[in-house]
Structure 1
Amino acid sequence: MAPPVPLLAVRGSDGTSLLCGPPQCEQHSAFHRDSRVSRCLTFSRDGKLFSWCNGHNISVVRTSDASVVSTFDLPKTTFLEFSPLNNILVTWQPYSKTQDCPQGDANLQLWDVESGRLIKALYQKKVDAWCPSWSEDEKISVRSVSNELHFYENNDFNSIANKLHMQKVSDFSLSPGGQPSKVAVYVPGSKGAPSFVRLYQYPVLGGPTAALANKSFFKADRVSMQWNRRASAVLVTASTEVDKSGASYYGEQTLHYLSVNGETAVVQLAKGGPIYDVAWSPSSTEFCVVYGFMPAKATVFNLKCDPVFDFGTGPRNSAYYSPQGHLLVLAGFGNLRGQMEVWDVKKYKQVSKPQAPDATHFSWCPDGEHVVTATCSPRLRVSNGFKVWHYSGAVLHQWEAGAGSELWEVRWQPFPEGSFPERPIRYQAPANQLGTTQAPPTQAYRPPALRHLPPTSSGKLHEDEPPQDLRPGEKSLSKSALKNQRKREAKKASKELKPDPGSAPSPGSASTPGPAPVSSSQSEASSGDPEMDKKIKNLKKKLKAIEELKEQQAAGKVLQKNQLEKVQKEQQLLKELQELKL
């Protein structure tokens, strides 16, 4: 049975459309493009339903044949979301007050998808965490209400089944999957007390003794909490608005690890600077962190928070695992030039290195074979459009917004886990491609007088660190050892690029033919006479010094009188060396 073809939803100033996914990306045959300006759109979690608001009403249709399921007269809706089993559609519109209604209308509404009946209307003034969180089986749902977490069971929102009351609870994250549900809660520190994150398992809530794990820390104005797919551990990125040391414009970040078995740790990072991105592998056994002052490092850690593989340094600030977890994209978007590094995670081998300049959006297709990059407004109001890529670097489809048009959003249709099996990784681009956009090699500036000489590492303001396998049994090099290794490699390359004095002169060459000297890099053949070997070694040393002087002279350096005399003796020394060998 052939795998399904994912849809790509496109929203912009020209309306809303559904495209049948890669590689053709043609218009969905049953879905007619809505030319009205769309405020928002969303897919259901299994991808069977699609909903959007066009400023007049909300429509819910089936993605298979675009048949209408229900419509809602809610023209001001700004956000939409389906519950995991498609029973409820959640809508949010900005909170407002009127003279007739001084307390304002309930702006968070929960609707029955099939019947269109209003289940519950709630107040949600802030847009942060506007949508309730559900467990995968919809048995538990939770939302934050003024320093409390309210838990509901079986979609009964008329009665609160349980509460978690903690002073100044400002954020929470419900675990993915079904029962038993777990929740991570964050309480910011005050009056010198540290901030903390605690893990609880529903319905046992409240008090430090009931917590599965507890991690306290300072320097946290806000946090980002990410569960792995198995709901066995959570990563907490703690951030401050201002770095008091003045080292970073982005504030200061630390990364903490909490496991449901009670283990906690601070993830030790090998380079100072901001933490740009943290991504769990779909396998739930490792995670990738992009961090450090530019050029940033990227490192994969295991569940013991030990580094497994270091990708070295480069212009990157984000990491994206494929849905199957077999590929990892390290990218530099935003204020960077859009370089993408595609890595085979099992072999830790780079597959491709395409470039998507000015991209403001990146997402993996559920098939794990394709990605989409887009330049969207209002982040960038020029050159709006999107590209669909194969992970090998080939551009399969490209669309650009016309003059006066804007692109606002692109979104892949989701699919249940296991819909697309993992395929063998291909290192060659497919045949049906529009072209590839590989990142051009970057080199440090070199003055004209030095461009004919082999490059050396000393000419760079900073040295990019190479990838390094840190798994057990692999050789781990220290920073100084890596530096010495690069010096040796540069010296070796320099010797290989030197012209061989013994090579035959080209036709018309003005150089005087002479016996070929033996370079010092060649193996020394003993003559059996120690005195003779010593003389040969001294002659080779003098000839090597003359070669270096000639290179300096060619680079534009003015030689002194004694140095010029040395150069003039080259033929004499070559003759002596030849006679000694004979």
Structure 2
Amino acid sequence: MAPPSPVLAVRASHGTLLRSGPPSCDEYSTFQRDNGRSRFVAFSNDGSLFGWCSGDKVNVVKVADGSSVQSLDLPKTAILEFSPLGSVLATWQPYSKTQDNPQGETNLQLWDLHTGTCLKTFYQKKVQGWCPNWSDDESVAVRNVNNELHFFENNDFNTIANKLHLQKVSEFVLSPGPQPCKVAVYVPGSKGAPSFVRLYQYPNFGGPTCALANKSFFKSDRVTMLWNRKATAVLVTASVEVDKSGASYYGEQMLHYLGINGETAVVQLAKNGPIYDVVWSPSSSEFCVVYGFMPAKATVYNLKCDPVFDFGTGPRNAAFYSPQGHILLLAGFGNLRARWSNGYKVWHYTGTVLYKEDIPEGAELWEVLWQPFPNGTFPERPIKYQAAPSELGTTEAKPAQVYRPPALRNKPATASSKLHEEEPPQNLKPSLAGDKQLSKTALKNQKKREAKKAAKQDTKTDAPPLHSDPPSACPAPTCGDPETDKKIKNVKKKLKAIEQLKEQQAAGKPLEKNQLEKMQKEAQLLQELEDLELGV
């Protein structure tokens, strides 16, 4: 039996619709397009159900034939989510209260999708962590309520089956896969105490000694926790909002590993800078991290947190494994979306564009989702290295021109004129052929050496020219006026800072208002630099 063809859900200002997958990508005939401005769309975990908030109702239909499952009168609903088996629909609307009702109304509802009845309502003021977290078989569900995790069994939300009390617990994630279910919990540090993540097996919550693993660390305002598919380990990305060293506008991140066997480790990253993405392989035996100041590095690690392959550097901030785990996609996405001439494309994995849709002028594209399928639905196919035929071309784009100061224009490019050094993947490095993988200690020392090297380079850049240079050396061009030379140096410094901001923006990092204003002065600074260098 041939595997099914997935569909695409498209949410835009001119309506919500479903499209069949490649090669036709026609509008799905069994789904009646909703011409309203939907607030949210979602598929069930197995892709059999599709739901959306139309602004006056919450609708759920079967994807196969478009037949209605439920239509609920919930005009204020902003978000919805299906339970793993598609038996419960969770809906959330912004919390509000009035003078007549100072306590407000319950704003989190759980609905039985088979009968359309409301199973339970809760108060849930914050949108963060609004939805209960279910085990895959729906035998366990959990909510965070005032320093406690409340556990429910078999979708009976009127009875709390178990509680896990941890002062100031802020994040939790249930493990995937079969029972016994496990839960990862995070408690932020306070008053000089470190933050910590613990792994428990439900319902063994007798105290810290019952934890499967425990990892304490400083420098953590928030975390993201990611279980692997086999529920044997968790990766924790810990972030602080402010980097006290001043090395980054965007705080600092560290990556931690916890195994249910009690093993913990800090993942040693070979380049300074933010962590953009962390993904587990479907095999649960390795994970990929995209990290470091642009151009970012991408490295695959094993369960001992040792690097097994380094992809070098490039303009990327995201990684995706194929469902079978035999293809890894590295990609770079910007953080700004134009309100005109926007659209989406469907690619073949070899880079060929299979379908392209441009959104009409005056309309806005908000979201595009692939229909999900259960694990094992699609068989692994042999990888082809020849692009699939298409009339729409490929993903290859013209290389962008790198900014070069006026003094270096019309001159041959040299290694010293590069803004940063590109690093190829490890299998394309001749000097590393046959070398053994770096150990954790070697990676840590390498990282320190790179930081010292960068600091020395900055010192050399800011230092005045040495008069003891040999006659053959090429000193920086000057105009003979120390005051003008100082102005030139200051302008170049500002342009370099703008270039760094542009790289950070391209990497998907949001910029502050003052940083955006600084970028707008680039043309003015370039003109000023040309005027100053006329006499050089």
Aligned to 1:367: none
Aligned to 1:27: 27
Is 1:256 aligned to residue 251 of structure 2? Answer: no
Aligned to 1:310: 310
Q: Hey, what's the Cα distance between the residues in 1 that align with 2:208 and 2:434?
A: 41
Which runs of structure 2 are paired with 1:506-521 in the superposition (5 Å)? none
Aligned to 2:65: 65
User: Residue 109 of structure 1 aligns to a residue in which SS?
Assistant: strand
Q: Hey, what's the Cα distance between the residues in 2 that align with 1:441 and 1:472?
A: 29
Is 1:325 aligned to residue 325 of structure 2? Answer: yes
Which runs of structure 2 are paired with 1:375-390 in the superposition (5 Å)? 379-390=337-348
> Contact 2:343/2:357 (CA < 8 Å) preserved in 1?
yes
Which runs of structure 2 are paired with 1:70-469 in the superposition (5 Å)? 70-334=70-334, 379-441=337-399, 450-451=411-412, 457-469=415-427
Q: Which runs of 5+ in 1 are unaligned?
A: 336-357, 359-378, 484-582
Q: Hey, what's the Cα distance between the residues in 2 that align with 1:222 and 1:324?
A: 31
Aligned to 1:518: none
Q: Hey, what's the Cα distance between the residues in 2 that align with 1:41 and 1:464?
A: 40
Which residue type is aligned with residue 267 of structure 1? V
> Contact 2:108/2:121 (CA < 8 Å) preserved in 1?
yes
Q: Hey, what's the Cα distance between the residues in 1 that align with 2:82 and 2:410?
A: 65
Aligned to 2:473: none
Identify if the C-alpha distance between structure 1 residues 448 and 221 changes in structure 2 by more than 3 Å, giving closer, same or farther: closer
Percent of pairs with identical residues: 69
Deviation at 1:382, TM superposition (A): 2.9
Q: Hey, what's the Cα distance between the residues in 2 that align with 1:3 and 1:287?
A: 27
Deviation at 1:441, TM superposition (A): 4.4
Identify if the C-alpha distance between structure 1 residues 429 and 71 changes in structure 2 by more than 3 Å, giving closer, same or farther: same
Which residue type is aligned with residue 117 of structure 1? T
Which moved further from structure 2: 393-402 or 467-476?
Answer: 467-476
Q: Hey, what's the Cα distance between the residues in 2 that align with 1:157 and 1:123?
A: 13
Residues paired across the two proteins, number = 438
Identify if the C-alpha distance between structure 1 residues 405 and 165 changes in structure 2 by more than 3 Å, giving closer, same or farther: same
Deviation at 1:102, TM superposition (A): 2.1
TM-score, length-normalised on structure 1? 0.72
Identify if the C-alpha distance between structure 1 residues 442 and 56 changes in structure 2 by more than 3 Å, giving closer, same or farther: closer
Deviation at 1:43, TM superposition (A): 0.8
> Contact 1:286/1:303 (CA < 8 Å) preserved in 2?
yes
> Contact 1:394/1:433 (CA < 8 Å) preserved in 2?
no
Aligned to 1:533: none
- The alignment yields a C-alpha RMSD, in angstroms, of 2.3
User: Residue 436 of structure 1 aligns to a residue in which SS?
Assistant: coil
Q: Which runs of 5+ in 2 are unaligned?
A: 451-536
Q: Hey, what's the Cα distance between the residues in 2 that align with 1:443 and 1:59?
A: 48
Which residue type is aligned with residue 280 of structure 2? W
Q: Hey, what's the Cα distance between the residues in 2 that align with 1:206 and 1:426?
A: 53
Q: Structure 1, residues 144-184: CA drift from partner, whole Å, max 9, x if none?
A: 11111000001110010000001100111111112111001
Identify if the C-alpha distance between structure 1 residues 32 and 246 changes in structure 2 by more than 3 Å, giving closer, same or farther: same
Which residue type is aligned with residue 323 of structure 2? P
Q: Hey, what's the Cα distance between the residues in 2 that align with 1:278 and 1:440?
A: 29
Q: Hey, what's the Cα distance between the residues in 1 that align with 2:34 and 2:151?
A: 38
> Contact 1:468/1:476 (CA < 8 Å) preserved in 2?
no
Which moved further from structure 2: 233-242 or 285-294?
Answer: 285-294
Which moved further from structure 2: 211-220 or 325-334?
Answer: 325-334
Q: Hey, what's the Cα distance between the residues in 2 that align with 1:398 and 1:31?
A: 21
Q: Hey, what's the Cα distance between the residues in 1 that align with 2:206 and 2:25?
A: 51
Q: Hey, what's the Cα distance between the residues in 2 that align with 1:476 and 1:69?
A: 54
Q: Structure 1, residues 174-226: CA drift from partner, whole Å, max 9, x if none?
A: 11112111001001111111000000000101411000000000010111101
Identify if the C-alpha distance between structure 1 residues 442 and 55 changes in structure 2 by more than 3 Å, giving closer, same or farther: closer
> Contact 1:219/1:238 (CA < 8 Å) preserved in 2?
yes
Structure number with the bigger relative contact order (C-alpha 8 A, sep ≥ 6) is 2
Deviation at 1:442, TM superposition (A): 6.0
Larger of the two Rg values belongs to structure: 1
Q: Hey, what's the Cα distance between the residues in 1 that align with 2:409 and 2:162?
A: 74
User: Residue 209 of structure 2 aligns to a residue in which SS?
Assistant: helix
Q: Structure 1, residues 449-498: CA drift from partner, whole Å, max 9, x if none?
A: 654xxx75344232211111599965559979xx9xxxxxxxxxxxxxxx
